[in-house]
């Protein structure tokens, strides 16, 4: 068991109609001029953006708006946002949307609170010493960015997708109304559920110390998300299932399911970020397409955890060798992905990668992790390439 710090300063306001509290919350955290940042237009079509601007108008809070954060959000829009905020004297950021709008807002916040090029943080050249305060109205349960310290941005030049983590970037508040997720396409709901599972799985498959209480929370979360993801695949308007998944999304990436371990593995994410950068795939689908190949590659080096996962999470009978039980657990999670219409390899993801593409991704991934990374198994460039090849 390792020591840990658990820091979750975000005020969570959860339930039906909670978006009506947005003006009050912005005031509580000192916002007087707001940048409302959103994605490609779903919040315009759903009427949520209008609701938010009406609420701010009624409260007399000034704002400017900037849409256009795409999935795998781009650095160019971040620069545009920083310029707009400087020109308009913005002192508070409000992201209305999913991980992409939130991450883009976090990057704008770093750019506002620090001198120099904001990409330096994502390029691991230096650390931020602050971030403009940020609030969130969440519209998709997925990344956990509404409570996480992380932000992932893609630089157009070279298609480099990188994450930066800092406690300064944790939102001040997160408004979570599960009803707002009911307009999601089924594919995005399933992508979100996959990402939520993966944030806990990355922390679960380790060779470091573990805590029984953390395992119990993690295993409960995984079972709950799988159960409710299947309910949503049949009945997307089910409020209770939306609520279970939404809260799980935040808990899965705010640090709770990793307390006492060695920091986690995170290699499925690192490999997926290369796919997202190069092919612009949806993050959750990319994770599902890679996970089985990663799991089979590392399983032998992390057998006790894979066995425990198979029995406690996937309900596999503890009969046969540890290897057999572990493999059945991996197959059972892949079956689950198929049931919610997620891909389990690159072909199903719609990615037709050449050998050269795979080598490029493995190389960029190795550079991004400074040579090697992984707790279930330490992976170097040749291992990364082998996993990409197996996932074709
Ligand atoms: O852009 P709009 O028009 O809003 O449409 C979005 C987008 O097309 C749509 N959508 C969202 N809410 C909706 C909706 N459509 C209808 N009704 C709604 N209520 O769904 C699509 C996906 O949205 P996006 O924000 O891209 O999804 P997600 O939350 O999965 O974010 C993905 C990004 O976050 C990064 C990913 O790599 C990816 O770039 N991640 C961020 C993390 C973090 N900050 O902690 C951790 C994750 O591991 C991840 O890497
Ligand atoms: Zn993720």
Among 154, 180, 206, the domain-final residue is: 180
pLDDT averages per 10-residue partition of the chain, 392 residues: 94 98 98 98 97 98 98 97 98 98 98 98 96 98 98 94 96 98 98 98 93 97 98 98 98 97 96 94 97 98 98 98 98 98 98 96 95 98 98 96
Are residues 170 and 109 part of one domain? yes
Report pTM.
Answer: 0.98
CB within 6 Å of ligand 1 — which residues?
39-43, 71-73, 97-101, 103, 139-140, 142-145, 148, 150-152, 180-181, 183-184, 188, 192, 195, 253, 269, 276, 283
For residue 210, the model assigns a pLDDT of: 87
Are residues 257 and 170 part of one domain? no
Are residues 354 and 219 part of one domain? yes
Domain-embedded: residue 37: yes
Domains in the chain: how many in total? 2
Ligand 1 atom nearest residue 183's Cα: 17
Domain-embedded: residue 285: yes
Are residues 203 and 163 part of one domain? no
For residue 84, the model assigns a pLDDT of: 98
Domain-embedded: residue 3: no
**In this structure, which ligand is nearest to the CA of 291?**
2
Contact partners, residue 297, CB within 8 Å, separation at least 6: 377, 383, 386, 387, 390
Indicate which CATH number applies to the domain containing 97.
3.40.50.1970
CA of 270 to the centre of ligand 2 (A): 9
**In a mutational test of the pocket of ligand 1, which residue from 19, 36, 38, 39 has the highest number of ligand atoms less than 8 Å from its CB?**
39
Residue nearest to atom 38 of ligand 1 (CA): 72
Domain-embedded: residue 6: no
Q: Are 112 and 132 contacting, i.e. CB atoms less than 8 angstroms apart? A: yes
Are residues 344 and 316 part of one domain? yes
CA distance 57 to 252: 35
Are residues 222 and 75 part of one domain? no
Domain-embedded: residue 253: yes
Are residues 220 and 193 part of one domain? yes
Domain-embedded: residue 2: no
Indicate which CATH number applies to the domain containing 218.
1.20.1090.10
Residue listed under structure tokens 């919040």? 43
Ligand 1 atom nearest residue 39's Cα: 1
Residue nearest to atom 15 of ligand 1 (CA): 184
Domain-embedded: residue 315: yes
Domain-embedded: residue 1: no
Among 180, 206, 226, the domain-final residue is: 180
For residue 312, the model assigns a pLDDT of: 98
CA of 68 to the centre of ligand 1 (A): 12
How many other CB atoms sit within 10 Å of the CB of residue 315? 11
Q: Are strands 62-66 and 92-97 parallel, antiparallel or unpaired?
A: unpaired
Are residues 144 and 20 part of one domain? yes
Are residues 272 and 124 part of one domain? no
Are residues 60 and 126 part of one domain? yes
Among 160, 180, 200, the domain-final residue is: 180
**In this structure, which ligand is nearest to the CA of 242?**
1
**In this structure, which ligand is nearest to the CA of 145?**
1
Are residues 189 and 329 part of one domain? yes
User: Residue 262: which domain range?
Assistant: 185-390
Are residues 75 and 197 part of one domain? no
């Amino acid at each position: 068991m390792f020591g840990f710090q658990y820091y979750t300063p975000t005020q969570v306001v959860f339930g039906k109609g909670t978006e009506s509290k947005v003006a009050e919350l912005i005031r509580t955290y000192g916002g007087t001029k707001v940048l409302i940042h959103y994605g490609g237009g779903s919040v315009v079509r759903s009427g949520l953006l209008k609701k938010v601007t009406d609420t701010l108008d009624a409260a007399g809070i000034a704002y400017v708006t900037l849409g256009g954060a795409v999935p795998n959000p781009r650095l160019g829009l971040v620069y545009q946002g920083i310029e707009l905020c400087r020109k308009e004297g913005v002192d508070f950021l409000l992201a209305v949307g999913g991980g992409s709008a939130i991450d883009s807002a976090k990057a704008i916040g770093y750019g506002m609170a620090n001198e120099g090029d904001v990409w330096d943080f994502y390029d691991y050249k230096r650390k931020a010493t602050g971030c403009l305060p940020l609030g969130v109205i969440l519209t998709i349960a997925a990344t956990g960015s509404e409570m996480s310290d992380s932000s992932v941005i893609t630089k157009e030049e070279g298609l480099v997708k990188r994450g930066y983590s800092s406690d300064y970037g944790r939102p001040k508040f997160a408004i979570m109304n599960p009803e707002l997720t009911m307009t999601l396409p089924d594919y995005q709901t399933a992508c979100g559920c996959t990402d939520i599972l993966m944030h806990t799985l990355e922390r679960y498959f380790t060779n470091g110390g573990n805590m029984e209480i953390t395992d119990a929370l993690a295993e409960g979360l995984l079972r709950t998300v799988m159960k409710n993801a299947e309910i949503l695949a049949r009945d997307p308007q089910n409020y209770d299932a939306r609520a279970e998944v939404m809260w799980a999304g935040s808990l899965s990436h705010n640090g709770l399911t990793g307390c006492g371990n060695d920091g986690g593995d995170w290699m499925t994410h690192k490999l997926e970020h290369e796919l997202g950068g190069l092919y612009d795939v949806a993050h959750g689908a990319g994770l599902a397409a890679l996970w089985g190949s990663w799991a089979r590659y590392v399983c032998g080096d992390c057998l006790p955890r894979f066995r425990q996962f198979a029995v406690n999470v996937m309900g596999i009978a503890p009969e046969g060798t540890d290897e057999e039980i572990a493999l059945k657990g991996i197959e059972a999670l892949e079956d689950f992905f198929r049931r919610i219409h997620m891909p389990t390899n690159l072909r199903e993801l719609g990615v037709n990668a050449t050998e050269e593409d795979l080598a490029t991704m493995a190389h960029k991934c190795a550079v991004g992790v400074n040579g090697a990374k992984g707790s279930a198994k330490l992976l170097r460039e040749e291992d990364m390439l082998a996993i990409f090849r197996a996932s074709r």
